[in-house]
Structure 1
Amino acid sequence: MKRSRAIAGSAVLAMAGIATMATATTASAAPKAAAYNGACGSGYSVVNSVPVTGKGTVYLTYSAKTGKNCVVTVRNSPGKRVYMYTYLTATDGSSDWVYDSGQYTSYAGPVYLPGKGICVDWGGAIESVSVSVSGSNCGRMAAGVVTHH
């Protein structure tokens, strides 16, 4: 009886080890999320971001020194040229839209807009996946409303 428990226990441990290896393999196969690439320049810090599902991330940055916001859309994995887009505007309509779009290998942008005391709408796209955030970062780190297209 003791012997069969030991064998059963070993089988359970072996199965747990296989399940752990399968989970680790699956997790490592997921694409690495895009990190902010510093494209906005020195003095800009990330204040918000939104993932472009499975493709990359759009980063909203701010410089206290210049009082400007900056947005850049970064791919998870640079490669062949694909359509990319990034934009930024004042939520209240007090500014023109600033945007960058084209066929890029790693990122779109940066685009800049004075941001002291205003809320901003911003977002981006990689291939056919787009995201946007409305009414965020009104002089502080606000959540905003995120939409995925």
Structure 2
Amino acid sequence: MKRSRAIAGAAALAVAGIATMATATTASAAPAAAAKYNGACGSGYSVVNSVPVTGKGTVYLTYSAKTGKNCVVTVRNSPGKKVYMYTYLTATDGSSDWVYDSGQYTSYAGPVYLPGKGICVDWGGAIESVSVSVSGSNCGRMAAGVVTHH
């Protein structure tokens, strides 16, 4: 009986998820489109991780296998008047200095670069007063990090 309850519970959750998705797609007040990676790190860099800056934009961690470097850029959902933006990247083990870019920008902060072969990285960014950070991620492979929203 435990098995059938688990299956029934999973089915109920699946139905609830479908209902939620249906509700979300029919909402009339859609949120601003999420920021897309803008290619600011240059050719050969691919997005390996990202974290949303709630309601404001997205921070992207990219990597180039050719150069062995990570790159981070913080991108706004809706470019416009200049606002405070920040982006940073450092080695989790403290083996590198922090690299960062901050200022008043219309669309993105960064890019910032750091050699990344064989190290875990801490990275993140901010748009206006909303900031996010990821600790100990992408240790030479796709890896989950600890995300903190401020």
> Normalization by structure 1: what TM-score?
0.81
State how far apart, in whole Å, the 2-side matches of 1:96 and 1:43 are. 24
- Which stretch shows the higher mean deviation, 133-142 or 25-34? 25-34
How far the C-alpha of 1:46 sits from its partner, in A, is: 0.2
CA gap of 1:28–1:109, structure 2 versus 1, over 3 A, is farther
Q: Does structure 2 conserve the Cα–Cα contact (< 8 Å) formed by 1:73 and 1:108?
A: yes
Gaps of 5+ in 2: none
User: How many equivalent residue pairs?
Assistant: 149
State how far apart, in whole Å, the 2-side matches of 1:115 and 1:9 are. 43
In the alignment, structure 1 residue 114 sits paired with structure 2 residue 115? yes
CA gap of 1:122–1:23, structure 2 versus 1, over 3 A, is same
Gaps of 5+ in 1: none
State how far apart, in whole Å, the 2-side matches of 1:10 and 1:91 are. 38
- Which stretch shows the higher mean deviation, 89-98 or 30-39? 30-39
How far the C-alpha of 1:30 sits from its partner, in A, is: 2.7
State how far apart, in whole Å, the 2-side matches of 1:135 and 1:7 are. 36
Secondary structure of 1:51's aligned partner: strand
CA gap of 1:6–1:50, structure 2 versus 1, over 3 A, is closer
Larger radius of gyration: 1
State how far apart, in whole Å, the 1-side matches of 2:120 and 2:3 are. 70
How far the C-alpha of 1:56 sits from its partner, in A, is: 0.3
- Deviating above 3 A after TM superposition, structure 1's stretches of 4 or more consecutive aligned residues are 1-29, 31-35
Secondary structure of 1:80's aligned partner: coil
- Which stretch shows the higher mean deviation, 65-74 or 18-27? 18-27
Q: Per-residue displacement from partner, 1:83-123 (whole Å, max 9, x unpaired)?
A: 00000000000000000000000000000000000000000
How far the C-alpha of 1:44 sits from its partner, in A, is: 0.2
Q: Does structure 2 conserve the Cα–Cα contact (< 8 Å) formed by 1:31 and 1:76?
A: no
State how far apart, in whole Å, the 2-side matches of 1:82 and 1:31 are. 20
Q: Does structure 2 conserve the Cα–Cα contact (< 8 Å) formed by 1:33 and 1:57?
A: no
Secondary structure of 2:10's aligned partner: helix
Q: Does structure 2 conserve the Cα–Cα contact (< 8 Å) formed by 1:34 and 1:74?
A: no
Cα-Cα RMSD: 7.8
| Identity of matched residues, % | 97
> Normalization by structure 2: what TM-score?
0.81
- Which stretch shows the higher mean deviation, 33-42 or 132-141? 33-42
